[in-house]
Amino acid sequence: MSLNSRREILRKILSQNTISSQDEIAEALLVAGVSVTQTTVSRDLAAIGAVRGQDGYRLGGSFTENGHALPIAGNDELSGLIYRHVLSVAKAQAIVVVKTAPGHAQMLASAFDRWPPYGVVGTVAGDDTIFLATTSSKAIGVLMKTLRAAMEGGRL
pTM: 0.52
Q: What are phi and psi of 100, to 5 degrees?
A: -130, 175
The whole-angstrom separation of Cα 21 and Cα 1 is 23
Q: Which residues of 45-74 are buried (b: 16+ CB within 10 A; e: fewer)?
A: bbeebbbbbeeebbbbbebeeeeeebbeee
pLDDT score for 156: 65
Give me the mean pLDDT over the 115-125 stretch.
89
* Confidence band, pLDDT 50/70/90 cuts, at residue 10: very high
Q: Do the beta carbons of residue 121 and residue 135 sit within 8 Å?
A: yes
Q: What is the reported pLDDT for 74?
A: 52
Could you tell me which CATH class the domain 71-151 is placed in? alpha beta
Q: What is the pLDDT of residues 50-69, one digit of tens each?
A: 777 667 887 765 444 443 33
The yes-or-no answer to whether 3-65 and 71-151 have a common fold is no
**Contact in structure between 83 and 75 (CB atoms under 8 Å):** no
What are the tens digits of pLDDT across the range 17-29?
888 899 999 999 9
Residue 62 makes CB contacts below 8 A (sequence gap 6+) with 14, 15, 69
- CATH code given to domain 3-65: 1.10.10.10
Asked if residues 144 and 96 have their Cβ atoms less than 8 Å apart, the reply is yes
Angle CA 9–14–19, to nearest 5: 125
> Cα–Cα distance between 156 and 149 in angstroms, integer?
8
